[in-house]
Structure 1
Amino acid sequence: MESQRSFLIIGLALVSFLLWQQWQKEYGPQPVQQVQTEQAEQVSQGVPSFDDAQSEDVPTGDSMPAAKPMASASNANRIIEVKTDGLDLRIDLLGGDVITADLLKFPVTQGSEEPYSLLRSGNGLYVAQSGLIGANGPDASSSGRPVYRTESNFYEMTGDTLEVPLVWKNDQGLTVTKTFIFKKDHYEVAVNYTVQNNSGAVANVQQYAQLKQVIDAEDDGNMFMPTYRGAAYSTEDDRYQKYTFDDIEDDKLRETTKAGWAGMLEHYFVSAWVPPQDQVNTIYSRNISNQYAVIGVLMPAAAINSGETKTLSSTLYMGPKDQEKLVQIARGLDLTVDYGILWWISQPLFSLLTFLHSLVNNWGVAIILITIVVKGAMYWLTKKQYESMARMRNLAPKMQQLKDRFGDDRQKMSQSMMELYKKEKVNPMGGCLPLVLQMPIFLALYWVLMESVELRHADFALWITDLSVKDPYFVLPILTGASMYLLQKLQPTTITDPMQQKIMQFMPVAMSVFFLWFPAGLVLYWLVSNIITLVQAKMIYASMEKRGIK
C-alpha cells in the first residue's frame, strides 16, 4: 500500500511540475532580448550580412585558397528574389546563399496570409550555404566569399521549371556558374556548379553545402508536446541520426560515407543538403563561438584540366516533412518525420490513416476511423486483460486469507499463492501482458498524429478548425477527463485506503488539465479510444456475467 501511495503522489507531483513549467513559458516573465548585441555580433560570428565576407562560414577543404580578392557588391543589388508556386526565396549574391525561404502553401497560422518562413535572416538566422573551396575555389579566397553576377534581381516561375544562373569570373580565366533549378510542385532544388577552366593550368575545387542556424532560437515544442529542433544526418550504415545543438557544441562531427545527407529539423518542416548518392562524401558539423550551429556535406575534390568544363551538383530540400516525396530524394530522409523507435509501427499506421482520409476527405473523421480499426483489432487482447483482472479481483479474499495465515513467512506465502493460481487457472501476468502488447501500437499512433504535417491546419468540424493546435474551448479535454472518470468507475479497484481512493478520483481531473495543451487531433484520438474502451468493457463484462465470472 505504501508503495502504491508513493507512486501516486510522485505522479501527481510530476503533473503539477509540468503544469507550472508550461505556465511559466506562456505567462511568466520573459528574458529581455539583447537585439543590438546580437546584431553587433553577426559580423564577428560569421553570419551572412551586408558588411562582412564571413570567412568563418567556409569549411576547411583539401587545400588552401589561391584566388585573388573579389570585388565587392553594393548592398542594394546583392539580394535577388526567386518565386515559384511553393517557394519565395531570397538569394544573397555574396556566396550565392539562400538566406530566406518562405513556404507559400503553409501559412504561419490558419487563415493567415503570411507564409511560414523555414529559412530566415535576422536574429533567428537559419540559412542554406554552399560553394566551392580548394586551391582554386572561389569560396576559399583570403578576402572572403565570391560575389556572383546575375541578369535580374527577380525571377518567377511561369512554366514547369525555372533556372536561376549566378556567374563568377576571375582574372585567371576561371568561370563558375552556380545555377539553381526549380521544378513545379517540388521543394527540392538542384544546385549545379558549372566550372569552365581557361586558366592554362589544372583547377582544383571542392564542393561543400551546409545549413547554419542560431543555437538559441525558440523551439515550438514544450514539456507536454516535445518536438525536436536540431540537426540530423545519414550515412551508409545509419539511415537517420539526430545530432543536437549540444552535440555540435561538444564535438565536431566528421563521417566519411557513401551517399548520405545533412539536415536541420523543425516540427513539421525540414531543410537538407543531399549530395550525389553515388559518391563518397563527408558529413561534418561546426560550432561558431557557441552561437551558431553548422551541419553540412563536403563532397569529393575535383580536378578540372585547362580547356575543360565540368559540372558539380547537389540538391537542397526546403519544405514539409512529406514522407512520400522525401523517400524518393534520399535514403532515410523520410525518417525526419520522427516517429522514434516505433517508426516501423508508425509508418504502416500513417499509411492506413492516409488511406482512410482518401475515403472521407476529413482528417478528424480519419482519426476516429483509425482509432476504431486499431481498437477493434486489439479487442481480443482487451478481453483477455479484463477477464484476467476480474479473476484476480475474485481471488482477493482468498489472497487476504493467505496473508493472515502465513504472516511474514514470505516463502510459504509465495508457494501458497502459486498453488492458488494453478488451482484457479489464473495467470497473475494475464492482465499486464495484453497491455504491454497494446502500448507500442497506441504510442506509435500517438506519434503519427503528433508528427504528420498533413494534420497541420487540418479542419475537423464545428469549433475544431485546426487539429494541430489545442481545442480553443477545451471541450475535448473535458470530455476526455469525463470518459476517464467513467472508465475508472466501471473498473472495480482493490485499493481500500481512503487517501489513495481520493487521489485516484482526482487523476481524471489532473489528466484533463494535462490535455489542455495537447493538439485537438491527439485529444480526439484519446477521447474516441476511451469511448470505445467503455463500450468494449460493457460487452466484456456482460459476456463474463453470462459465463458466471463476476
Structure 2
Amino acid sequence: MESQRTFLLIGLMLVSFLLFQEWNNDYNTPKADPSATTQTLNTTSPESDDYIPSSSDSGLPASATAAKRSVIDITTDVFNVKIDTKGGDIVEADLLQYEEVKGEETPFMLLGEFDGNQYFSQSGLIGLNGPDASANGRPTYQAAQKAYTLSGDELRVPLTYVDSNGVSFTKTYVFKKGQYDVGLEYTVNNATSAPVQVQLYTQIKRTVQEKGSLVDQNYLGAAYGTDEESYEKYSFSDMADKNLNKNTQGGYVAFIQHYFVSAWVPKQDETHTLYSLITKSNAAIIGTKAAPINVQAGSEQTLNATYYMGPKESDILEAIHPDLDLTVDYGWLWFISQPLFVLLKWLHSILGNWGVAIIAITIIVKSLMYPLTKAQYTSMAKMRALQPKMAALKEKYGDDRQKFGQATMEMYKKEKVNPMGGCFPILLQMPIFLALFYVFLESTELRHAEFVLWLTDLSTKDPYYVLPILFGASMFVTQKLQPMTVTDPMQQKMMTFMPVIFSVFFLWFPSGLVLYWLVSNLISIVQMLIIYRGMEKQGIKVRG
C-alpha cells in the first residue's frame, strides 16, 4: 500500500469517525417528553418533582407541597454555593478559580439552572422514619445564619430539623480550604423511647441534554464505579433504556462533562445500591442508597458521604476514590495518554506556558518516533524510484494480473524494498497521536490556558483561524515534498484537496490541538528534508 493512500485512508477514517460519533449522539440522546416541561426551581415556587428513592428498589416521586423556600449562601476560597433549606440540597455551585468566559470575572457555574436546565446535588434520609420519606414531602431545615464564609481551614454548615416525634436530624456540610470535595455528615439524635430506622441516599439530578457540535466529542453523561467495575459510563440513553440497579461495597456515582465532574462517594466499607432514573420532566438522576440502620432510643448516630464538584484533575480525584480519576477519560488508549499527560505537566512546570509545553512534547514524541519516520520516508522514496520498472512490468504483462503480481514481488525482493514499509510506520504512530489527542482534549489545565499573542485560550478555536491555515499550508508542503506514488486520477485529486479539507475541518478544533498538529507537520517537513538529502547523496532519486 502506497503511503499516500494510507494518508488518505487515515484522513477519511478520522472524518468518518467524528461523523459517526455525531450521528450516534443524535440517535441515542433521549428526547424530552413533549407533554412535560422542565421544572424551574426558585425560592418561592412549589417543590419540583424530586425523586426520593424508597426503601425498596422501586422508588416513587415524593408528594409535592407548596412550601416556601429559602437558600443559604456559602463562600469559600474556591466556591460560591447555595443550599436550599427545602431538603438541604446544593442547588448552585460557582467555581471561583475558573471563569465562565475567558477574560470575564463571572465564575464558572457548575451546578445550578442553565436556560431551563437543572443540575443539582441531592441527599436525604429515607427508611421507616426518614424525614425525606414523609408523605408531606421533604423536610425544611433551619440554619443559624443565612450566609456563611470560610475564614480558617474548615467551615461547617449545620442544618437542623426535628420531626413530629421529637427525633432531631442535623445535616452538616463540611467545606475545607482549597478543596473541591465537601463532606456530608447526617446526625440522627433519637431522644424518643423507641428505635428509629433511617437510610441515607445521595444523588445527582441533571436535565437530559443533547451533545454539542461535531468537534465536541467529550462525553456528557453519568458514570459509576463498583467493587467489580472501576469505571462505567451510563449515558442518558442507557438510563432511558434501563434503570441502573447495582449492589456494591463502596463505589461512586458521577456526572461528567468537559473539564468538570460532580460525584457522590459513599463510605467505602459499607454496602450500597446504585440506581438511576429519568423523570417525567426529563431529568436524569443517578445516586447511591445505603443499607437501613437502626438508631436506638436515647442514642445518636452519624452517617457520612463525600461530594466532589470541581475540575477533572487526576491526583485530586484519585485521593477521594481510587477509581474516580478514571472520569478523566482518555479512552481505550489511557495507558499511553496517562504517562504523556505526566510528561506534559512536567514540561509545563519547567517552561511555564502550556503552548510551549505542547510544542516541547511534540518535539519529544516526534524525535522518539524518528526511526519509524525514517523507515516510512525511505520506503516511500524507494517505491518512487521503482516506478519506471513498475511501469515496464505493467506494459510487459498487460492485463495478466497473476504474472504481473509475481514479477512485482520478485522485483521487490531483488531491490530489497518492502511495499508495506511506508504504511506500517504510520499505523504504529497513530496510537501515539490519538493518545495525545485525548490528552489535549481532556486536560482541565488547558482550559483558558494562554499561549502567545491572540491565542489566549488553547481550549477554544483560533479566533482568527491562523493555525488552521498554517496547518493546511504545512500539509500542502508535505505533499509536495513526498514522492508521489498514487497514479489513480481520482485519488490524486483527493490527495490534492486533503489540505483544504483538513484546514476547514480544523477551523473549529481547539487551538491547542491544531498547534500540536501544525508543529508535528513542521517537524515532519524538517525530518523529511534531512532523510531525502541523505538518500540523494547515496544516489537514490527521491523527487522529480
* TM surpasses 0.5: yes
CA distance in 2, matches of 1:13, 1:83: 48
Q: Does 1:206 align with 2:229?
A: no
CA distance in 2, matches of 1:252, 1:507: 45
Q: Deviations over 1:117-142 (max 9, x none)?
A: 11013611110000111111111111
TM-score normalised per structure 2:
0.89
Given the superposition, is the C-alpha separation of residues 203 and 338 from structure 1 closer, same or farther in structure 2, using an over 3 Å criterion?
same
Given residue 82 of structure 1, which amino acid in structure 2 is its aligned partner?
I
Given residue 55 of structure 2, which amino acid in structure 1 is its aligned partner?
G
Q: Deviations over 1:419-478 (max 9, x none)?
A: 232222222222222111111111111111111110111111111111111111111111
Q: Does 1:92 align with 2:84?
A: yes
CA distance in 2, matches of 1:509, 1:63: 56
Q: Deviations over 1:44-63 (max 9, x none)?
A: xxx78744345651012249
Per-residue deviation at 1:408?
A: 4.3
Partner of 1:42: 39
Per-residue deviation at 1:401?
A: 3.4
What secondary structure is seen at the aligned counterpart in 1 of 2:103?
coil
Tell me which of the two structures has the higher relative contact order, counting C-alpha pairs closer than 8 angstroms and 6 or more residues apart.
2
Given that 1:367 and 1:525 are in contact with CA atoms closer than 8 Å, whether structure 2 keeps it comes out as yes
Aligned with residue 52 of structure 1, among 29, 46, 66:
46
CA distance in 1, matches of 2:136, 2:49: 8
Given that 2:449 and 2:457 are in contact with CA atoms closer than 8 Å, whether structure 1 keeps it comes out as yes
Q: Does 1:180 align with 2:173?
A: yes
TM-score normalised per structure 1:
0.88
Partner of 1:491: 482
Aligned with residue 114 of structure 1, among 89, 106, 111:
106
CA distance in 1, matches of 2:458, 2:183: 34
Q: Deviations over 1:155-210 (max 9, x none)?
A: 11011100000011112231111100000000000011011112222211111111
Given that 1:72 and 1:147 are in contact with CA atoms closer than 8 Å, whether structure 2 keeps it comes out as no
Partner of 1:366: 357
Given residue 85 of structure 1, which amino acid in structure 2 is its aligned partner?
D
CA distance in 2, matches of 1:428, 1:272: 52
Q: Deviations over 1:72-91 (max 9, x none)?
A: 8533xx21111111111110
Gaps of 5+ in 1: 23-33
Superposition map of 1:110-509 within 5 A: 110-121=102-113, 123-216=116-209, 219=211, 221-289=212-280, 291-509=282-500
Given that 1:271 and 1:318 are in contact with CA atoms closer than 8 Å, whether structure 2 keeps it comes out as yes
CA distance in 1, matches of 2:82, 2:389: 76
Given the superposition, is the C-alpha separation of residues 280 and 397 from structure 1 closer, same or farther in structure 2, using an over 3 Å criterion?
farther
CA distance in 2, matches of 1:415, 1:484: 35
Given the superposition, is the C-alpha separation of residues 16 and 315 from structure 1 closer, same or farther in structure 2, using an over 3 Å criterion?
closer
CA distance in 2, matches of 1:100, 1:193: 20
CA distance in 1, matches of 2:431, 2:17: 26
CA distance in 2, matches of 1:464, 1:497: 41
Per-residue deviation at 1:380?
A: 0.6
CA distance in 2, matches of 1:442, 1:353: 14
Given that 1:42 and 1:49 are in contact with CA atoms closer than 8 Å, whether structure 2 keeps it comes out as no
Given the superposition, is the C-alpha separation of residues 141 and 16 from structure 1 closer, same or farther in structure 2, using an over 3 Å criterion?
closer
CA distance in 2, matches of 1:368, 1:265: 29
What secondary structure is seen at the aligned counterpart in 1 of 2:431?
helix
Query: 452-461 or 221-230: which moved more?
Result: 221-230
CA distance in 2, matches of 1:246, 1:461: 41
Q: Deviations over 1:5-46 (max 9, x none)?
A: 9x9799789969999x99xxxxxxxxxxx9x997x6528xxx
Instruction: Please report the RMSD computed on the Cα atoms of aligned residues, expressed in angstroms.
Output: 3.0
Per-residue deviation at 1:501?
A: 3.0
* Percent of paired sites with the same residue: 54
Gaps of 5+ in 2: 23-31
Q: Deviations over 1:224-249 (max 9, x none)?
A: 23121111111122211111111111
Q: Does 1:512 align with 2:481?
A: no
